[in-house]
Amino acid sequence: MIPAAFDYVAPTSVEDALAALAQHGDDAKIIAGGQSLLPVLRMRLNAPEMVIDLGRIESLRGVRDDGDAIVVGAMTPHSVVGSDPLVAQHAALVAKAVEHLADAQVRHRGTFGGALAHADPAGDLGAPALALGAEFVVAGPGGSRTVAADDFFVDLFETAIGEDEILTEVRLPKRTGWGAHYEKFVRVAHQWPIVAVAATVRVEGGVIAEARIGLTNMGSTPLRARAVEEALAGQPATEDAVRAAAEHATEGTNPPSDLNGDADYRRHLARVLTRRAILAAAS
């Protein structure tokens, strides 16, 4: 279907984009890579009168080193994030997840910030961002504010970004030297996961000193598997110890049931994929 008619602006600064948002209010929609928004417009599930394209704002693109964090601009395409050496060195979990995100065309057009702002509970970037303890920098009429990962994902397709705000960058605290793995379970290649697990661990002398685990599609938002993290701390990085900790993977989850699998099946997957993800990260 062809989208309903809309006006279009492509500002070249965040300030001008915010001004356009303020002017058009509820009638405006931001477009980043368009990989999720355009299907929504074509199905006429949303019919904004004004589309504000962030594609010409150069300051929103790129990856930089900022001391104890790696900063990813919201408009940085997945393909750039996935091949960036700073991300690979200091936030390897994100690089691993991007490897499994969609196909090359979508990775070329879709953006890091767009995927996180979209907040699809089956999206591949939410759980790694949560597990890494990312910080989301959001610009609005009153300036910029920073939202912790724990507060960013509010509900299904809902984040802490206000209607008059724009996500400008995501700060990923450096976890240099940590092992990382993203274990994604799909029925068909290049698709959203039925369940996936993002694991990053710091191993010292064969012992798991610290672990941070995120779950994809086990609730209406990405979730931290805190019970697993606690069970792992101080344990040897062995199959038996990891298997026992992974049994806690479903605590605090509320997985959906759909054509790809019911909630019980997803709980089973969460335990199995958590064990696999941790063992791979620890090795």
Ligand X SMILES: Cc1cc2nc3c(=O)[nH]c(=O)nc-3n(C[C@H](O)[C@H](O)[C@H](O)COP(=O)(O)OP(=O)(O)OC[C@H]3O[C@@H](n4cnc5c(N)ncnc54)[C@H](O)[C@@H]3O)c2cc1C
Inter-helix orientation angle 239-246/263-282, to 10°: 150
Is-contact 74 170, C-beta < 8 A?
yes
**Which residues are CB-contacts of 15 (< 8 A; sequence separation ≥ 6)?**
none
Q: Pick the piece of the chain touching ligand X (CB under 6 A) from 160-168, 231-239, 252-260, 265-273.
A: 160-168
Residues 20/28, Cβ–Cβ less than 8 Å: yes
Task: Based on the shown chain and the rule CB under 6 A, indicate whether residue 31 belongs to the binding site for ligand X.
Answer: yes
Q: Which amino acid does the sequence have at 190?
A: H
Residue 115 in contact with ligand X, rule: CB under 6 A? yes
Residue 255 as a binder of ligand X (CB under 6 A): the answer is no
The interface region with ligand X, picked from 31-39, 82-90, 147-155, 219-227 by CB under 6 A, is: 31-39
Q: Does 123 bind ligand X (CB under 6 A)?
A: yes
State the number of binding residues for ligand X (CB under 6 A).
Answer: 29
User: In whole angstroms, how close is the CB of 48 to ligand X at the nearest point?
Assistant: 9
Is there a contact between 120 and 157 (Cβ–Cβ < 8 Å)?
yes
Nearer to ligand X, 35 or 274 (CB): 35
Task: Kindly indicate which of the ranges 6-14, 30-38, 128-136, 250-258 contains the residues binding ligand X, using the contact rule CB under 6 A.
Answer: 30-38
Least Cβ distance, residue 150 to ligand X (angstroms): 19
CB atoms within 10 A of CB 185: 19
Q: Which stretch binds ligand X (CB under 6 A): 27-35, 64-72, 127-135, 253-261?
A: 27-35
**Count of alpha carbons within 13 angstroms of residue 1, beta-carbon side:** 12
Contacts of 166 (CB under 8 A, 6+ apart): 14, 17, 18, 21, 30, 54, 74, 138, 139, 140
Nearer to ligand X, 127 or 208 (CB): 127
CA 64 vs CA 71, 76, 81, 93: distances in Å: 5, 11, 11, 17
Residue nearest to ligand X (CB): 110
Q: Residue numbers of the site for ligand X (CB under 6 A)?
A: 29-37, 54, 74, 101-102, 106, 110-111, 113-115, 117-118, 123-125, 161, 166-167, 191-192
